[in-house]
Amino acid sequence: MRVQFVAGFGPIVKDQATSERFYKDALGLPIKALTPDGTYVGTDDLDGVKAFALWRLADAAESTFGTKEWPKDVPAPQAWLEFDVESAAAVAAAVQELEAKGYRVLVKAREEPWKQVVSRLLSPEGLLVGVVYTPWMHKEA
C-alpha cells in the first residue's frame, strides 16, 4: 500500500450544533450540509493537509503548557488538528476572536523554536486545535 495523501479528517461529534459553531462560526470554515437532512456537514473546499504526524502526549503537553505532564484539569486530547492562517499577525487576531467568542485558548500566539507561530485550544470534541502560521508551508516563504 502507498498512501498518496490525507483524503479527509474530522472529529466525531457528540453535539453537532456546538461543533458547527466552533468550526463554522469561530474558525470560519466553509462548512455546509452535505446530505439533504443536514446530519452530515463538512466541506470539500478547503486545501489539503500539509502534514500528518504522530505527536506524543508528553510533547504536546510541553509545547502547550511547558511541561511533559498534561494537566489533570484539562481533558487529554485524542488528536491534533492545525489550521494555518495567512501570517503570524493573523494568529494573534484569531486568538482575540476565539476568546471573544468564549473559547479558552491554552496557548496564545507565540513563536516556537522551529519558527512556527502557534495558538492552541481544545475543540468541543477534545481535539487539540491549533490556529497557526507555518512559514515554510506558504509559497511566499
Whether residue 68 is contained in a domain is answered as yes
pTM of the predicted structure, to 2 decimals: 0.87
The confidence score (pLDDT) of residue 71 equals 96
Whether residue 109 is contained in a domain is answered as yes
Number of domains in the chain: 1
Q: Characterize the bridge pairing of strands 80-84 and 117-122.
A: unpaired
Whether residue 75 is contained in a domain is answered as yes
Whole-number Å distance between alpha carbons of 134 and 71? 26
Long-range contacts of 41-47 (CB under 8 A, 24+ apart): 41/16, 42/10
The enclosing domain of 78 has a CATH number of: 3.10.180.10
Whether residue 85 is contained in a domain is answered as yes
Burial of residue 22 (CB within 10 Å: 0-12, 13-18, 19+) is buried
Whether residue 108 is contained in a domain is answered as yes
Whether residue 30 is contained in a domain is answered as no
Residue-number span of the structural domain to which 67 is assigned: 49-137
Whether residue 113 is contained in a domain is answered as yes
The confidence score (pLDDT) of residue 133 equals 94
The confidence score (pLDDT) of residue 53 equals 86
Whether residue 39 is contained in a domain is answered as no
Enumerate residue ranges in the chain where pLDDT < 70: 5, 140-141
